[in-house]
C-alpha cells in the first residue's frame, strides 16, 4: 500500500453477502473522498462456490484493478487456501482462527485473528452477519472512520427498516472495537478520509439504465442473463418512477419481438442480454431492420462459445455483433469504456436508433457491466432527445410513403392511429408503401436505401477518442473496458519510466471511423493493440478499414479483465 492507497479483498462462500459487503465498503471510501475500482469474482455455477470481492482504493484517479492485495479478509478456510498468494509480502490476513482448519502457511505476512463468529454470537445475530463484523474490523485496521462506514451501511439497508440498520451497524462496530483494542496501530500508517468532490458509486449496467431513463425509454424486455441481469433488477426497482413498462419474457426471442412491437407503437424500446441470448435474438434484429423500427440492444459479453464461462469477462462478440442476422442491412455498434460513457453512449444510442430507424447495439462486457467505479455526477444540461423523422398529427403528407427512397436512407415514419399514416410494416422485401415486392429494381432500391444509412450515420458520429500524448512514438489501441487498464498503465509508465504514450480508443465499430483511425496511426508510430479476445478482432477491423496492421498485440482471453499493473509490465516488454 502506498500513501493513501489500498487494495482490499474479501472472500467467502456463496450466501455470505460478499457482493453486498464489497459494495458497502466501496461506497464508504467514496464517501470518504477516495476513488474506487471494485470487482467481484464468482464461479460459473447455479449455486454455491467461492466468491471474492476486491476493492482498489486511491486518493488519485484510478480506473482499473491491480494485483496483489494489501489486506485479505477470509470468511472461510477456502479463502486462505485459494487467495493467500494474492497478498503482498508484509500484507495483512484478517481471519477467524477458531473457525478455520487451515493454518496460513506464509511467514512474510501479518496475521490478524479476529473472533468474528463469537462477536456475532454475542450480539445474538445470524452467522451471516460476520461479513459486517469483518468489514468493521477492516475499517479499524486500516485506520478509517467508522462513522463513514456506518453511513454507507445506512444507505444500503435504510429501506429495510431501522432494526436491520441497527443490527448491521452493531455488527460492524463489534469488529471495529475488537481490532482497535487488540491491534491499536493502523496498518501501514492508516487510510483516513480526505477532501474530495461528491462522487457516485455505480456499475456500467447502472449507468446504462440511467442513460436509458434519461433518453426517455418507455419499454424494456429482458430475460435475465449474466452479465446484464442487473439491468433487469435496476429497471425493476425504478421503472415505475420513470413510467417504463418492463417485461420479463419467456425467452430472448419473445423479448426482442416485444421490443420491436413497442417501437412500432412509438415507444423508445430496449433489450439487454449476453452473447448466448443475443444468438436467439438475431432474427428479431433482422425484423427491426426490415421494418425500419428503432431499437437499442445491450449485449454484455462473456467468454464462449456456448455457455462458456457465464460469470467471467471477454471481448469476443465484436465480429458477431457486426454481422448478426442475415441479409444486407446496417447495424450501429458502439462500445463504451467506462460508466460515464455507458451513460452518454446509451443516451446517444436511443437518438441514433430514432434518427436512423435501425437497430443500435451497445457492446459491454462482464467487467464493465458489474464492477463498481467512482464516477463524477453526469452533466446532462446539453442532452436533447431527438426522435428523428417521426411525424406528429397534421404532418402526414397525403401521399405518405413509409419506405420512400431518400438520399439519407431514412424516411418519415408514423405511429398507429395517426390520421393518414397507414402503412404495411412488412418483414418481406417491399416497395415504398410496404407492400410485398419481388420486382428486381425495387428490391435493389430498398437494399440500397437501408445501406445508405451507414454513410448517414458516419456524418453523425466521431467514432474515436484519443488520450495522452498526441505526438507519441507509440500508440496503444483498444476498445470497451480495456480503457481503464490502458489509462492506468499509461500513468504507471509515465511515473515510473518517463514514457509518455498515446491511446486511441475506438468507440464506434460501425460505422467504423476509418479515416480518423488511419490519420492517428499512420506516420511511423509504433502501434500496440490491446484486446480481451483471442482473435484481435478490433485489429482485424483496423486492417480491413484502415489498411494498418499493429506492430504488437497484447491479448488476454482467460475470462479475466486486464489488471493495470499486469498491462504495465506487458507493455514494457514490447517497448
Phi and psi at residue 13, in whole multiples of 5°?
Answer: -80, 160
Q: Does the structure show a pLDDT above 90 at 524?
A: no
**Dist. CA 294–CA 283, nearest whole Å:** 15
Q: Does the structure show a pLDDT above 70 at 3?
A: no
pLDDT digits (tens, 9 = 90+) for 389-436: 999 999 999 999 999 999 999 999 999 999 999 999 999 999 999 999
* Every domain range in the chain assigned CATH 3.40.50.970: 201-375
Q: What is the pLDDT of residue 70?
A: 97
Q: What is the pLDDT of residue 197?
A: 84
Q: What is the pLDDT of residue 252?
A: 97
Asked whether 202 and 334 are in contact (CB, 8 A), the reply is no
- What is the DSSP secondary structure assignment for residue 428, as one 8-state letter? S
Rg over alpha carbons for the chain, rounded to the nearest Å, is 26
**Dist. CA 304–CA 211, nearest whole Å:** 28
Q: What is the pLDDT of residue 47?
A: 66
* Every domain range in the chain assigned CATH 3.40.920.10: 5-196
Q: What's the rounded mean pLDDT across residues 216-240?
A: 96
Q: Which fold has domain 5-196?
A: Pyruvate-ferredoxin Oxidoreductase; domain 3 (3.40.920)
* Every domain range in the chain assigned CATH 3.40.50.920: 464-574
Q: How far lies 215's CA from each of 173, 208, 402, 497, 535, in Å?
A: 43, 10, 25, 44, 35
Asked whether 394 and 251 are in contact (CB, 8 A), the reply is no
CATH architecture of 201-375: 3-Layer(aba) Sandwich (3.40)
Q: What is the pLDDT of residue 195?
A: 86
Q: What's the rounded mean pLDDT across residues 215-241?
A: 96
Which CATH number does the domain 464-574 belong to among 3.30.160.60, 3.40.50.2300, 3.40.50.720, 3.40.50.920?
Answer: 3.40.50.920
CA 330 to the chain's CA centroid: 25
Amino acid at each position: 500500500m502506498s500513501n493513501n492507497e489500498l487494495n482490499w479483498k474479501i472472500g467467502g462462500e456463496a450466501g455470505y453477502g460478499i457482493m453486498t459487503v464489497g459494495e458497502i465498503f466501496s461506497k464508504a471510501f467514496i464517501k470518504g473522498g477516495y476513488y474506487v475500482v471494485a470487482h467481484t469474482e464468482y464461479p460459473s455455477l447455479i449455486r454455491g462456490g467461492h466468491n471474492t470481492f476486491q476493492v482498489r482504493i486511491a486518493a488519485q484517479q484510478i480506473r482499473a484493478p491491480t494485483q496483489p492485495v494489501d489486506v485479505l479478509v477470509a470468511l472461510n478456510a477456502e479463502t486462505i487456501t485459494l487467495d493467500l498468494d494474492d497478498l503482498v509480502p508484509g500484507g495483512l490476513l484478517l481471519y477467524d482462527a477458531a473457525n478455520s482448519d487451515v493454518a496460513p502457511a506464509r511467514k512474510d505476512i501479518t496475521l490478524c485473528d479476529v473472533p468474528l463468529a463469537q462477536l456475532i454470537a454475542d450480539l445474538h445475530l445470524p452467522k451471516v452477519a460476520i461479513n459486517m463484523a469483518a468489514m468493521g474490523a477492516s475499517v479499524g485496521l486500516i485506520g478509517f472512520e467508522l462513522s463513514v462506514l456506518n453511513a454507507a451501511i445506512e444507505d444500503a439497508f435504510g429501506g429495510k427498516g431501522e432494526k436491520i440498520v441497527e443490527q448491521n451497524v452493531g455488527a460492524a462496530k463489534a469488529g471495529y472495537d475488537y481490532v482497535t483494542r487488540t491491534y491499536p496501530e493502523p496498518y501501514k500508517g492508516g487510510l483516513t478520509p480526505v477532501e474530495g468532490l461528491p462522487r457516485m458509486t455505480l456499475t456500467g449496467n447502472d449507468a446504462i439504465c440511467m442513460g436509458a431513463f434519461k433518453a426517455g425509454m418507455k419499454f424494456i424486455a429482458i430475460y435475465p442473463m449474466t452479465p446484464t441481469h442487473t439491468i433487469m433488477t435496476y429497471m425493476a426497482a425504478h421503472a415505475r418512477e420513470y413510467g417504463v413498462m418492463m417485461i420479463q419474457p419467456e425467452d430472448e426471442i419473445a423479448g426482442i419481438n416485444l421490443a420491436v412491437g413497442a417501437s412500432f407503437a412509438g415507444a423508445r424500446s430496449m433489450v439487454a442480454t449476453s452473447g448466448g441470448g443475443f444468438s436467439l435474438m438475431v432474427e428479431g434484429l433482422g425484423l427491426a431492420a426490415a421494418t425500419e423500427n428503432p431499437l437499442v440492444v445491450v449485449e454484455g459479453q462473456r467468454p464462449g462459445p456456448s455457455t462458456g464461462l457465464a460469470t467471467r469477462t471477454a471481448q469476443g462478440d465484436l465480429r458477431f455483433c457486426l454481422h448478426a442476422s442475415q441479409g444486407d442491412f446496417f447495424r450501429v455498434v458502439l462500445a463504451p469504456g467506462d460508466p460515464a460513457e455507458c451513460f452518454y453512449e446509451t443516451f446517444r444510442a436511443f437518438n441514433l436508433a430514432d434518427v436512423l430507424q435501425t437497430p443500435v447495439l451497445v457492446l459491454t462486457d462482464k467487467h464493465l457491466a458489474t464492477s463498481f467505479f467512482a464516477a463524477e455526477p453526469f452533466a446532462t444540461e446539453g442532452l436533447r432527445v431527438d426522435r428523428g423523422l417521426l411525424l406528429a398529427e397534421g404532418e402526414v403528407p397525403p401521399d405518405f410513403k413509409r419506405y420512400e427512397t431518400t438520399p439519407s436512407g431514412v424516411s418519415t415514419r408514423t405511429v398507429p392511429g395517426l390520421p393518414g399514416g397507414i402503412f404495411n410494416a412488412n418483414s418481406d422485401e417491399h416497395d415504398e408503401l410496404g407492400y410485398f415486392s419481388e420486382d428486381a429494381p425495387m428490391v435493389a432500391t430498398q437494399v440500397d436505401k437501408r445501406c445508405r444509412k451507414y454513410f448517414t450515420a458516419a456524418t453523425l458520429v466521431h467514432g474515436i477518442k484519443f488520450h495522452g500524448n498526441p505526438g507519441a512514438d507509440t500508440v496503444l489501441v483498444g476498445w470497451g473496458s480495456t480503457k481503464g487498464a490502458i489509462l492506468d498503465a499509461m500513468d504507471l509508465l509515465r511515473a515510473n519510466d518517463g514514457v509518455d504514450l498515446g491511446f486511441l480508443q475506438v468507440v464506434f465499430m460501425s460505422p467504423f471511423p476509418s479515416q480518423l483511425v488511419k490519420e492517428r496511426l499512420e506516420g511511423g508510430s509504433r502501434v500496440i493493440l490491446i484486446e480481451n479476445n483471442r482473435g484481435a478482432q478490433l485489429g482485424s477491423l483496423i486492417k480491413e478499414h484502415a489498411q494498418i496492421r499493429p506492430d504488437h498485440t497484447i491479448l488476454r482471453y482467460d475470462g479475466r479483465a486486464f489488471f493495470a499493473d499486469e498491462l504495465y509490465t506487458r507493455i514494457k516488454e514490447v517497448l
